[in-house]
Structure 1
Amino acid sequence: MDLTKAPLFLDRIDETIRTRPEQLAIVDLSLDEPVLMTYGELSKLADKCATRLLELGVEQGEAVAYQLPTSWEFVVLTLALWRISATPCPLLPSLREREVKFIMQSSGSKLLIIPDEFRRFRYKPLVEAIRADLPALKHSIVLPQSNRRPASADMGGLLSGEDIAVDEIAARRATGATHAQLLYTSGTTGEPKGVLHTHQTLSSALLAHTTTLELGAADRIWIPSPLAHQTGFLYGMLVSFYIGAAGVYQAIWNVDTARAAIETHGATFVQAAMPFLADISNCDQPPKGLRLFIATGAAIPRQLAQQAREALACSVVGAWGSTEGCLVTVGRPNDPVEKQAGTDGRVIDGMAIRVVDDEGNTLPAGSEGNYQIKTPAMFVTYLHHHEWFEAGFTADGFFDTGDLAVIDAEGYMKITGRKKDVVNRGGEKIPVVEIEELLYQHPAIADATVVAMPDPRLGERACAYIVVKSGQTAPDLSQVTDFLGRHGMAKIYWPERIEVIDELPRTASGKIQKYVLRNDITAKLAMEAEHTS
């Protein structure tokens, strides 16, 4: 399978629109009554939206930022941006002033599109609070949430008017080298990285994924992950487009909505973080109808895998991917049961993986080392930091993921640790350095660090170890999180436990020995569990 020659996803979408315009494209479960939209209807709305974007002066290659929840509006806007060769730059709805300001400044986006409200948070005051720091921003568009039926909604004016700029849209046709996505991923330097993919790199990922897992138009893709995350964007929305199938979109996590997605609306496939799997497997009436659940973010515990297979009556396998390299390993439904759980699967055809020592020597099967990948689905650069991109590759073209892994004799890979200083909370990477920098600004904290603590549902949560200044009273968890919130940090990044110690363990060179603290909190949690059992 030559992934470098994968058909472009826009061509696949257009083929479905031309040959099967009545094919269902979207099932949006975010309203009281589901929104059902065909490929033909989606195409007409995308053209209308693209015309309005052109009128706003959106240029070819320009990044357009939007902080929208998972919804039909998100899908329409994204397709419209592709049709005029602009670059979608979606932001998680949970991000707040600090993160939004950074991404807007970095991307240079002249246009920001937001909902008026989502989950009781109003976004217009956020934009007003940071607008003075965004000299490039020319337009902000607010999508009212009071009227969201496609027949009458105008998406803040983006669907107004009936004229379509047919010739100008046609002239903007994207190529494989056109930028198709700008996603920001939490880094280890304190600065999020802007990851740029092209239409060809994402199409290579899609061909590999859909072929390996034998996905087709008869499937329905359930999308409970945020569309501003690679899991929802690429392995939800774009997978459904690539195979000409329906996507079933869920904006807010709720087991009953998940049951409706599967049992009422026929979802057969999902790729999502392990907490989603745990929740639907452990509920009173586990939904039936899924064919395959790809669990990402961490290797599936064997007990959960067995329980999920029985409760959901479907195949459950693990996988590993990243924003930069997309999915590289995945389990197959016909893999041995003992490999489906406890590993992150096998390498996908057309890609390569290896484990090396610090000198770059390939290690034998079963040895832990630095995990490196080579894939045609690799991103093309970090925005403004091509030197970071170049530094990530070896001389023979492998990308160093920063993770530690073991590959067994049968080729199954398992992530065992990481060099990157990030907490993986249910598949969401927590930017540790950013949290630490803010903690140091707290008037009562002299020294601080954040480490991962194990969690049975999310895999990891963030625990902050702090040293209190002399004469000050140690702040409790709520006081620390209130402080972070006041400084504009999103709630999803807040630590969920505070440990006060006299001194942080450090090496002779002054580096914090985080493994000591990870071992400490792991032992404390185990002891607490014993006392409560």
Structure 2
Amino acid sequence: MINLNEDEFYELGKYLYHKRWNIETGENSQKEINNYLNFGKRMEYLAKKYPSKCAIVCEDEQISYSEFRKRYLRLSYYFKNQGFKKGDKFALHLENSEMFIIILFSLLELGIVPVLLLPAHEKKEIMGVVKKADVKAIIVDKRDASYEEIIDEVVRENINLEKVYISMELKNISLDENIDFTDFVSEEVDFNDTALLLLSGGTTGLPKLIARTQGDYIYNNEALARRLLLNEESVFLSILPLAHNFPLGAPGIMGTLLCGGKVVVGKYATPLEILYLIEKEKVTFVSLVPTVLNMCMQYRKIDDSDDLKSLEFIMVGGAVLPAKLSKNVDKLFGAKLIQIYGTAEGLCCCNFLQDDFETRISCQGKPCSPFDILKIVDENGNELPKGKEGELVTKGPYTIKSYYQLEEKQMEYFTSDGFYKTGDRVKIDKRGNVFVLGRAKEQINRAGEKIMPLEIEEALLTNEAIDECAIAGVKDELLGNRICAFVKANKNITLNDIKKYLKSKNMASFKMPDELILVDSMPYTAVKKIDKNKLIKIFEKRKPVFT
């Protein structure tokens, strides 16, 4: 069952949907399904099929599929001998490197659950996750003074943390050919077992924990890989933080490896490194967020000497892509723009490679599984007809039913019939294409008028004087919200200039910004999205421009 045709994969999706929602499934071979929906079994198969084929490239190191499996099995053997077992939690706080992937798969092999912290997470987030997930070990790149503080606090609070590992020390173990793991017996891992804990992408409070199973995560990745026609010739450049779901599994590292392709690990999300690696490694696709894409586009306009002929498509997600950028991607890079919308909680939508240009630049495509169910609802939870704007709620074969250890807040994040509340304002057209308009909580209520920031942002970005902008609602006792424009400009610009420009674009008067704050640079989140919470704090500290 390691290779499925389209009909068989369709039946697998139906089976997973039925299992998740407790619907009678009929007869299926549990053993065959467990072999297919098991990262360890899939890597064993690929190491035999492509023993000498390159699986991972990082800097000047190339690792074949057979060598990759040997390295992570040595670590699996080591962790098992250290007394760790299936179900234990390991927090990974690592920068991009080949060791991130090797460590990840060594844990998946054993059924130990990796908890993926972003490199930008600091003491507050790390401690919150360690407590919430009952983490037994942390793996870090270096144990510096900040980690000593964390360990001291762990000891004081009697948290059940047993080990702190350094990635370089684990690398030495993974390379030790004297380690004989021929008698190593892996854990029996079921497709319903938790594979990993991802963190929610919110910018306020502690991140919520998202438990993804071996089965749902493999199915999710493979569904996207099939949508995008990935195969053993595919070469993926992973330049965003690997702990984020987008580069990890949408389809990212996981989808590429499951197809027998090659993963190129980049360490710095700069245009220089991205374009250099695309040329050097003959990359066929890369995943970027809009801000990083914009930097690459600006660089490409100045210097187009990098040979990008291998590049087939650029996946863009994580935030809504402004039309100013989307319409120029194909021309600047000689590759197709593929927009993706998804959540670490599950649902993934993206364009088809066969979609026409106008479709690809204007929407985020369709769900990757025929068993994804999407509804648009109003503020009272009532379903709206196609074409209407509202909040997207969803459920399906790979979308979670609850957050990890947060059942007491179930109704805050899920409907009574199990639909996940995405918090995104969306519309779906008659063809089933998804158009993401922004976060529902970002909607500005100005004197009773409901305004989505994206509409104003897209209009402003067509102004050549503006490099970047963000629109946010700020509190006002009279209006409820005022509209504040945060602008990074390349020449002098005033609020009146902005209003005149928006008027020329036929923007309604009630959507005009009330205030302007000029910034030298935009603050970004850990995954390079513009951080509007930080912008609002800037507003609270700085004097706005009213003219």
TM surpasses 0.5: yes
- Indicate which of 24, 31, 55 corresponds to 2:54: 24
How big is each residue's C-alpha offset from its partner over 1:122-169, in whole Å with a ceiling of 9 and x where there is no partner?
65445345333462111111234xxxxxxxx75375655733445553
Give 1:137's match in structure 2, choosing from 140, 150, 161: 161
AA aligned opposite 1:314:
A
C-alpha distance in structure 2 between counterparts of 1:466 and 1:99, whole Å = 32
1:453-472 aligned at under 5 Å gives the runs none
The equivalent of 1:507 in structure 2 is none
Query: Does the C-alpha gap of structure 1 residues 111 and 280 become closer, same or farther in structure 2, counting only changes over 3 Å?
Result: same
Specify the alignment match of 2:99 in structure 1. 73
Give yes or no for the alignment of 1:293 onto 2:308: no
Question: How many residues are paired up?
Answer: 442
1:267 aligned counterpart, secondary structure: coil
SS at match of 2:211: strand
1:205 aligns to 2:220 (yes or no):
yes
User: Does residue 269 in structure 1 map to residue 285 in structure 2?
Assistant: yes
Match of 1:371 in 2: 392
Partner of 1:96: 122
Match of 1:416 among 423, 437, 448: 437
Q: Specify which structure has the bigger relative contact order, considering alpha-carbon pairs within 8 angstroms and separated by 6 or more residues.
A: 1
The change in CA–CA distance for 1:80 and 1:246 in structure 2 (over 3 A counts) is: same
Q: After TM superposition, give the deviation of residue 261 of structure 1 in Å.
A: 1.9
Contact 2:72 2:106 in 1 (8 A): yes
Question: Which runs of no fewer than 5 residues in structure 1 stay unpaired?
Answer: 145-152, 424-450, 468-488, 503-519, 529-533
What does 1:427-506 correspond to in 2, within 5 Å? 495-496=534-535, 498-500=538-540
> Matched residues in 2 for 1:333 and 1:136: separation?
48
SS at match of 1:317: strand
Rounded to whole Å, the distance in 2 between the matches of 1:133 and 1:490 is 28
CA contact (8 A) 2:52 2:64 kept: yes
Secondary structure, in 3 states, of the residue corresponding to 2:269? Answer: coil
Which whole-Å deviations, capped at 9, do the CAs of 1:36-63 have from their partners, x for residues lacking one? 1011111111111111111222121111
Structure 2 CA distance, aligned partners of 1:180 and 1:459? Answer: 39
Distance 1:201 1:140, change over 3 A: same
Look up the equivalent residue of 1:353 and give its one-letter code: L
Partner of 2:27: none
Q: Of 174, 193, 197, which residue of structure 2 is paired with 1:182?
A: 197
Task: Output the CA distance in 1 between the equivalents of 2:291 and 2:204.
Answer: 28
Q: Are residues 129 and 491 of structure 1, via their aligned partners in 2, closer, same or farther at CA, if it must alter by over 3 Å?
A: farther
Structure 1 Cα separation of the partners of residues 82 and 411 of structure 2: 35
Q: Equivalences for 1:146-295 in 2 at 5 Å?
A: 154-155=170-171, 162-170=178-186, 172-187=187-202, 190-235=205-250, 236-283=252-299, 284-286=302-304, 287=306, 288=308, 289-295=310-316
Which residue identity does 1:240 align to in structure 2?
A: T
Between the aligned partners of 1:466 and 1:164, the Cα distance in structure 2 is 68
Match of 2:341 in 1: 320
Distance change in 2, residues 1:461/1:358 (3 Å): closer
State the SS of the aligned residue for 1:88.
strand
User: Secondary structure of 1:400's match?
Assistant: strand
After TM superposition, give the deviation of residue 116 of structure 1 in Å: 1.6
Within 2, Cα distance between the matches of 1:422 and 1:164? 59
Matched, 1:336 2:375: no
The answer to whether the 8 A contact 2:320-2:437 is kept is no
Q: For residue 382 of structure 1, give the secondary structure of its aligned residue in structure 2.
A: coil
Is the Cα contact below 8 Å between 1:402 and 1:420 reproduced in 2?
Answer: yes
Q: CA deviation at 1:292?
A: 1.1
SS at match of 2:327: helix
Match of 1:46 in 2: 72
AA matched with 1:337: F
Deviations 1:226-253 (A, max 9, x none): 1111112213221121111110111221
Deviation at 1:281, TM superposition (A): 2.0
Q: Is the 8 A contact 1:28 1:36 kept in 2?
A: yes
C-alpha contact (below 8 Å) 1:63/1:89 kept by paired residues: yes
Asked if 1:8 corresponds to 2:29, the answer is: no
Give CA-to-partner distance per residue, 1:251-292, whole Å, 9 cap, x none: 221222212221110111123311222222221334413111
Identity of aligned residues (%): 21
Q: Aligned pair in 2 of structure 1 residues 37, 189: CA closer, same or farther (>3 Å)? A: closer
Q: Does 1:82 align with 2:108?
A: yes
CA distance in 1, matches of 2:178, 2:303: 47
* Cα distance between partner residues in 1 of 2:104 and 2:137: 14
